[in-house]
Structure 1
Amino acid sequence: MPLLEEIWQSRILTNGGVMLQRFEAALSRYLNVEHITIVSNASLGLVLALREFGITGEVITSPFSFVATSHAIRWAGAEPVFADIDPLTLNLDPASVEARITPKTQAIMAVHCYGAPCDTEGLAEIARKHGLRLIYDAAHAFGVRKAGKPLVAEGDLSILSFHATKVFHSFEGGAIISPTREMKLRLDRLANFGIEDEVTVSSTGLNTKMSELHAAMGLAMLPKVDEIIEARDQVAGRYWSGLSQVQGLRCLCPPGQKGHNSYAFPILVGPEYPMPRDALYHRLREHNIYARRYFYPLISDMPMYQMLPSAAPAGLPIARRSAERILCLPLYPDLDRVAQDKIIRVVADPCH
């Protein structure tokens, strides 16, 4: 692999080498954003974002997400407060967010679930009105655009994931999208122990740097990402054609939406369907089909969070109902049509 040979010849394996600099520049061009800080993973990116703003109070967030969202809030020294979600997008409901604001609230951390954009206008208005920071967990949203603009340009900061399960990946990795060069440079320092030069450490930073090897993987993958997204969209389109009319199922992410990335194909299993969600999940397993209950259980039901006042089930009815019904079907670019037809047959008629 030519990129690996370049690394061996440079004798630089990490600490912001030429490969990382090339990767950062290439991502900036692809995403059409100016200021990017590459990090070793998105979880640490979320921690750095909160540290950049000195957030140590309450952060309103979604219980319907991967647990890393709330864990990052805790690791940054703040406390998550859970708000309910919108029944259509399964993203944070701005009205529920506003109802959770207290004098201790310092930030909102919203999640673009399955790459579907949040109500960015509604959340931005609440953040402005109450003087809050607005941070987006955009782990699923690589390349997504809203009204023709990069979704990751919304909010005070957005954090992407380049984990191997994502639409675009570098094995492991992530990025923080900043609005200004000054903020980017501060985040760069935070990602490198707070070091300014060889004798100056100006802040309490972390080691969240990406290695040259991971950057090379990202550079190798980036020219293929449009082709990958197109292939994913075709897979999502076949699911939609086969399942969108099945009674009791609701397909959440219609394919072919301009600017979407077909990260996942989530369905909600309703009471009119022949069996409950968990029964369908196990029926698929019987056919060697590995769907995911993504996200179940709610973060607010996990033992480290369930005693928070905002975790009370009565305050999160839509999130709870969604978690009990959600199922994400297998979706990857080279999913074989024969295999996908089998998945569609089992889901469309699970009793045979």
Structure 2
Amino acid sequence: MSDDIFVTKPFLPPLEDFTPYLKQIWDSGVLSNCGPFHVELERQLADYLEVPFLSLFNNGTIALVTALQALELEGEVITTPFSFVATSHAVLWNRQTPVFADIAPDSLNLDPERVEAAITKRTTAILPVHCYGNPADVAAFGDIAKRHNLKLIYDASHSFGVRDTQGSILRHGDLSTLSLHATKVFNTFEGGAIISQSAKMKDHIDKLKNFGHEGETSVVATGINGKMSEINCAFGLLQLKHIDDAIRRRGEISLAYRTAIDMIDGLDYLDPALGGARKNYAYFPILVRPEFAVSRDDLYHKMKAKGVHPRRYFYPLITEFDMYKNLPSANSTLLPVAKKLADQVLCLPIYPDLDEGGVTRVIDLLRPK
């Protein structure tokens, strides 16, 4: 297994660079409860991402659950079937009903037309995902949400550092959430964040992530323990020093894949322009078309047998899981694009430590023999 290549690998800076941070934690005795590293990482991340207010969380799922709670929603939330299941689980955790709409064939993001067609009197929010870090159609969703008086929450788990022509993609909607999990472009081992647009909302979110406490003697909401530890925050501060180099290396790998795939019939990749004005190269999905030499699953198993482990992100669709498949909106006839692309997609390995030999090994397995 030592020479196996997996779809991702956490970026780890030199261990000796982390030791001084640990020494400070040991000296202070502060391990959690929004200590000095927590405060500093929130500040530095808000600056780096160019967002007004950022609240750190212990993971991205709790961040998304809390974002939905913070907006005090009921009823139906329209979202995508083409995502990791945490997106729809967060809706259920808040006792709301997920309603699934189809995706656009070019971006694999929620299709605004299909979303607008799914709105009913019970709809209270839209929850798009910036899939693979490629920005959703924020202008269209902003317009739909405004005209129908709906809340707009972006699951931006894949979108650390992504910008459109006007700035951070995280500035859109009522709230956006990030995952800082080990598999993400920027990681804090485990972690997440909510980006909000006002000091009042940040204060509300910060109370919710700390059991709903307001001071020592008052509890004002049914909060949760969503705080990030000082060790995770310290690691995040160190990671920030390396993030630009990590994204640059991801971009080099992406270019190598695109150059090779241009010469292989039956394989497609998403238009690089979809990634925004500043991309983060979080994933490299390819689409294995029917005219390719073998099926997507045959290619997947062939690569695994050779020690290269791509992933079928996202397959199966959320709507095919037992707990969702009986929802009216989960009917596959309503989601033809998502169903088709879930059967074709394959995400190739991409991470900063993947060297040229590894990239060549992946590419060689894509070529029909």
TM-score normalised over the length of structure 1: 0.98
Percent identity for Structure 1 against Structure 2: 47
Aligned-residue RMSD, C-alpha:
1.1
Q: Which consecutive residues of structure 2, in runs of 5 or more, have no partner in the other structure?
A: 1-18
Q: Secondary structure at the match of 2:343?
A: helix
- Number of corresponding residues: 350
Counterparts of residues 1-352 of structure 1 (less than 5 Å):
1-254=19-272, 258-349=277-368, 352=369
Counterpart amino acid of 1:318?
A: V
Counterpart amino acid of 1:220?
A: L
Q: Tell me, in whole angstroms, the C-alpha distance in 2 between the residues paired with 1:223 and 1:335.
A: 19
Q: Tell me, in whole angstroms, the C-alpha distance in 1 between the residues paired with 2:39 and 2:353.
A: 31
Quote how far apart the aligned CAs of 1:34 are.
Answer: 1.8
Q: Secondary structure at the match of 1:283?
A: helix
Contact 2:126–2:150 at 8 Å: present in 1 too? Answer: yes
Q: Tell me, in whole angstroms, the C-alpha distance in 1 between the residues paired with 2:272 and 2:309.
A: 21
Q: Secondary structure at the match of 1:96?
A: helix
Q: Secondary structure at the match of 1:81?
A: strand
Contact 2:162–2:169 at 8 Å: present in 1 too? Answer: yes
* More relative contact order, 1 or 2 (CA 8 Å, 6+ apart): 2
Runs of 4+ in structure 1 displaced over 4 angstroms? none
Counterpart amino acid of 1:265?
A: F
Counterpart amino acid of 1:68?
A: A
Contact 2:160–2:280 at 8 Å: present in 1 too? Answer: yes
Q: Tell me, in whole angstroms, the C-alpha distance in 2 between the residues paired with 1:318 and 1:91.
A: 11
Counterpart amino acid of 2:362?
A: I
Counterpart amino acid of 1:292?
A: R
Quote how far apart the aligned CAs of 1:253 are.
Answer: 4.9
